[in-house]
Amino acid sequence: MNYHEQSEEILQRALILLNQHNYEQARVFAEQAAAQNPDNSRSLYVLALVYSHFEKELPKALDTIERAVSLDPMESTYLCLKAFIFSKIGRYAAALTTADSALSISPDSSECFLEKGRALMGMQRWRDAETAFHDALAIDPDDINAGNMLTIVLQMQQRGEESNLHAESMLQKDPQNAYSHANAGWTALRESNLIKAREHFLEALRLESGLESARLGIIETFKAQSPLYRGYLKYVFFMSRFSGKNGIMIIVGFYIAYRILYRILSGANQFLATTLAIAYLTFALWSWVARGVGNFMLLMNSFARSALTKAEKIEAAVVGGNVIVGLPLLISGITFDIPALFMGGVSMIWSAFPFSISFTNENKTGRFVYGAAGVTILIAGLFIVLAGTNIVQFKPPQAVISLVYIISIGVIWMGSFGVLRK
């Protein structure tokens, strides 16, 4: 066997292992092949493909595929992988441009249309993404990936019946496809069919234990057993169909409508105005801590607990614990007129908001900023409580209290607009 044949055999081993989802072993062979042929574009392509399955190696994947493209700029498959990696790191505009470049070379490639649709999905351009996936399926009706993506796009447009029928058709084509089962699970969950959702998510995890969308789906299905959480989930599904800008406009619109209605009611009926204020605050604030509180409940279930990541468990303990302990303290403080209990409850609940976007936040700066804000609120609350009970001979100045209040409101608005949040 000559050198070229040996290198090709190593590449084939890497691809076989990749298809078997044995990414660690595939990486060993792909790196060996690339080391032997550092200027071979196909070796670099396979290595980039392997790296793309590791979240921490995505920068390496992008660098590697760019080297492959520089060696063979007219190979549309390389450009498609580059677009895929751009989408995975959230650079959707770059992914769309790259996919269009690939289509200019291979206009009849279903893979290129698939990556164009994926980029458009990331930009929340649901209609355009739907068109791209239809184009991919027109070229290759058996493209399971494009079919599964189309199911998701239909879900995001609240076209439940179409999404359900499409999900079933995907399962008929390939009943052993984990992604098809995960998509069918999300479709069922959107319709509050928890039994069906659970069956599909568990089957997806049986077929591919590391499938993240199925893991998240089974967690949401467990939490959706609570009517309160189901209501929150419907709100999340509703908001997910809007782009970032439109979503922000809706949130701001809700707030403006609330302020106008509150002002009208406060002049006519203070009880109704107060009820409206409590309802709005409950709705607005619950959406922040719902996941943490829901995951806190899952900690009590050994099966559901095993589905949570380490960061999600910490978030559940901190966010859920602060809300569940803080709420009784707040109520007790109001009921028995004990300011220390009231302030303790307020500080615990208020700190839960920045903590809710700290532990599972993929933005490193955001994790620090929101985590620091949560700790600051807790410490300030503790000092206020201790000062109120005369345990410490220190009374925080009004400026400090105002600063904590500003921090609290600031992080709420920052988080609402997606600042330092991923």
CATH number of the domain that 115 lies in?
Answer: 1.25.40.10
- Is residue 206 domain-resident? no
The per-residue pLDDT for 280 is 66
Domain end call among 169, 192, 213: 169
* Number of Cβ within a 10 Å radius of residue 195: 8
Same domain, 21 and 165: yes
- Is residue 399 domain-resident? yes
- Is residue 282 domain-resident? no
CB 366 within 8 A of CB 420: yes
- Is residue 321 domain-resident? yes
User: How many CA atoms are closer than 13 Å to the CA of 370, on its beta-carbon side?
Assistant: 31
Q: How many domains does the chain have?
A: 2
- Tokens matching residue 117: 């649709």
Q: Which of 293, 299, 262, 279 is CA-nearest to residue 356?
A: 293
The per-residue pLDDT for 395 is 60
* Number of Cβ within a 10 Å radius of residue 183: 29
- Is residue 21 domain-resident? yes
Domain containing 141 equals 3-169
- Is residue 69 domain-resident? yes
CB 53 within 8 A of CB 23: yes
Q: Which amino acid is at 200?
A: H
What are the φ and ψ backbone dihedral angles of 420, each rounded to 5 degrees?
Answer: 55, 35
CB 105 within 8 A of CB 79: yes
The per-residue pLDDT for 306 is 85
The per-residue pLDDT for 239 is 67
The per-residue pLDDT for 238 is 73
Q: Which residues contact 180 (CB under 8 A, 6 or more apart)?
A: 144, 147, 148, 151, 167, 170, 171, 173, 174
Between the two ends of the chain, the Cα-to-Cα distance in Å is 50
Same domain, 160 and 304: no
Q: Which residues contact 211 (CB under 8 A, 6 or more apart)?
A: 178, 179, 182, 204, 205
CB 348 within 8 A of CB 329: yes
The per-residue pLDDT for 10 is 86
Domain end call among 169, 200, 235: 169
Per run of 10 residues, the mean pLDDT along the chain (length 422 residues) is 68 89 91 88 94 93 96 96 95 96 95 96 92 95 90 85 84 90 91 92 91 91 87 76 58 70 74 68 74 89 85 92 89 82 85 90 88 88 73 61 75 77 76
**C-alpha pair distances (Å), 114 with each of 103, 111, 130, 182, 258:** 11, 5, 10, 19, 42
> Cα–Cα distance between 224 and 239 in angstroms, integer?
17
- Is residue 258 domain-resident? no
- Is residue 422 domain-resident? no
Domain end call among 169, 184, 205: 169
CB 82 within 8 A of CB 98: yes
